[in-house]
Amino acid sequence: MFVDIQHSKPTVHPEWSKDASCPQAAPISPSLHADLHNDLEDTYASNTFRLEAYESLGGAVRIPTEAYDDLKAPGQDPRWDIFVKLHEYLEQRFPLVHTTLQKTTVNTYALVYHWQGSDLSLKPILLTAHQDVVPIDPSTRHQWLQPPYSGLYDGKWIWGRGSCDDKPGLVGSLTAVESLLEKGFQPKRSVVLAYGIDEERGGLQGGPPIRDHLLATYGENAFSILIDEGGELDVRDDVVIASPAVAEKGHFDLRLTVNTIGGHSSVPPKHTSIGILAGLIVQLENHPHTPHLNRNDTYYTNLQCQAAYDPDLNEDLRSAIKESLKSDHALKNLEAQLFESDRRLVAIGSTTQAVDLISGGVKVNALPEEASAVVNHRIAGYSSVSAVQTRIVEVLLPAAKKYNISIDAFGEEVDPSDDDDDDDEGLSRAYAGRVTLSDAFGTALEPAPITPTSKNPAYEFISGTIIAVSKTSAKGKGSDKPVVVAPGFLIGNTDTRFYWKLTKNIFRYGHVDKYARYNGAHTVNEALEAEAFIELIRFFTTIILNADETKLLE
């Protein structure tokens, strides 16, 4: 993604297309399949097809496949039953997919489809999405301009939860395959579709079972490329910028648990367990992680692309970015310039921490014997889970000493006291309480391996396809505005967190204009501009056809 930073009056720089700091691929369109591609382009432009496609997405939106944080495993919770209705709908809507492709149901509700290619020497492509959506907050229903599961197409927008995240990926890829089947297309390169069921709550019931099935069926590094949801398009008046994400931050949820002696609240200690917990939280928040720029980080590569191709970028900042390539002093100055005032940029350039959950106490006149909080960390690409854990202990040590509490730090005892705090006879210190630091949910995740961009044919393949599809879009036809592809990154996590062993070429990219979302995802009035859904179908179709004839993929 390109981050909006200090824009000024646009300036045109034709020479940027040759900038070595962010080289661009040539457009890639089907050649052997040119006639079929042109035929499908005409079909996708027809009003009949468009209305059918809008209804396909709208119908999927009407099925509320909500993923709750407290869902038990499939077979143990009736709230999973709604996925059966979605599967029945998909079978009805995409009959050729379900009679031609080999369908495998994984862990009851996750779906994997295999479309056999004629050349077994070619590694398959893997297109993934997820079936689930974020639940609706019942208290916000009255704020929706259309009912949250209406799936209504109003002439411009398709309304409802999941219309942005991620039923376009699900329905769009199935629509592309169904359309290719209708035209009699038989692939040379196999195509695999995989659809998770609980990405919105961490993917634990969908991602690992899909991964295990794919590894058992195809093996490690068996896919030429994987494309999941993620990065987006930034379509402006003077430039189109696409940012397929090649990296994701890591993830760690710290649980802070403070235990103290209870008793009647009429005789309180100086600090209750809740008070101590509050002090520890303040200590963490007073010591946020410091953002850094690293030349081998994806964000820094993205900055170089901004300096090379973004006509709206402030010229002073453009110069600072370019100078930082060869000067460490300039790199430090750029770091300060970027991070001193913009909270979003600080979040992008550092490990973040946010206290999201807290609990403690059972009665107003009883001292709480235990209080706990969960602190969410999104780990920068240059860091690690162990580095974050080490830093947490270092930051909390002064507070633990202040409150006279011992520390169980991820299973190891840490004494916060100084050596001379014990008496001369070596008697052990009497602590007022204890804090236990642990992995809250056992879901710690290292930063994702970065998909290579420099001299990587797979990156050239997806870049060239993005450029070609964008240049021939409804908005791009007849326009001479440049289309730029810059490697992006995600500060959240997708189901690809489980798929690292399947391929080295993981791209998180949805080919949807960021301005085509009415109010964003995960919020009130989620809606997708209908035209953007057609562009996504065009993208999936071109990816499949290009992959069938390219020499850029294994």
Annotated binding residues, written as ranges, equal: 130, 165, 200, 228, 522
DSSP string, 158-194: EESTTTTTTHHHHHHHHHHHHHHHHTT---SS-EEEE
Cα radius of gyration rounded to whole Å, the chain: 26
Other CB atoms closer than 10 Å to residue 334's CB: what's the count? 21
- Distance from C-alpha of 277 to C-alpha of 433, rounded to nearest angstrom: 11
φ, ψ at 489 (rounded to 5°): -155, 160
SS (H, E, C) 108-121: CCEEEEEECCCCCC
Q: Which DSSP state fits 26?
A: P
> Under a CB-based contact definition with an 8 Å cutoff, are residues 243 and 488 in contact?
yes
Quick check: helix, strand or coil at residue 7?
A: strand
Sequence-distant (≥ 6) Cβ neighbours of residue 35 within 8 angstroms? none
The answer to whether residue 119 is catalytic is no
> Under a CB-based contact definition with an 8 Å cutoff, are residues 214 and 504 in contact?
no
Is the bond preceding residue 310 a cis peptide, omega within 30 degrees?
no
The answer to whether residue 132 is catalytic is yes
Orientation angle between helical segments 34-45 and 167-182, nearest 10 degrees? 120
Going by C-alpha positions, the residue among 180, 209, 222 that lies closest to residue 112 is 209
Q: Which DSSP state fits 240?
A: E
- Distance from C-alpha of 402 to C-alpha of 294, rounded to nearest angstrom: 36
Going by C-alpha positions, the residue among 382, 384, 431, 435 that lies closest to residue 407 is 435
> Under a CB-based contact definition with an 8 Å cutoff, are residues 144 and 524 in contact?
yes
- Distance from C-alpha of 71 to C-alpha of 50, rounded to nearest angstrom: 36
Torsion angle, CA of 136/140/144/147, rounded to 10 degrees? 50
Q: Which DSSP state fits 479?
A: -
Going by C-alpha positions, the residue among 271, 267, 272, 437 that lies closest to residue 371 is 272
Catalytic residue among 199, 229, 460, 495: 199
Going by C-alpha positions, the residue among 401, 447, 398 that lies closest to residue 421 is 401
- Distance from C-alpha of 379 to C-alpha of 373, rounded to nearest angstrom: 19
> Under a CB-based contact definition with an 8 Å cutoff, are residues 73 and 79 in contact?
no
Annotated binding residues for Zn(2+), written as ranges, equal: 130, 165, 200, 228, 522
Which residues are known to be catalytic?
132, 199
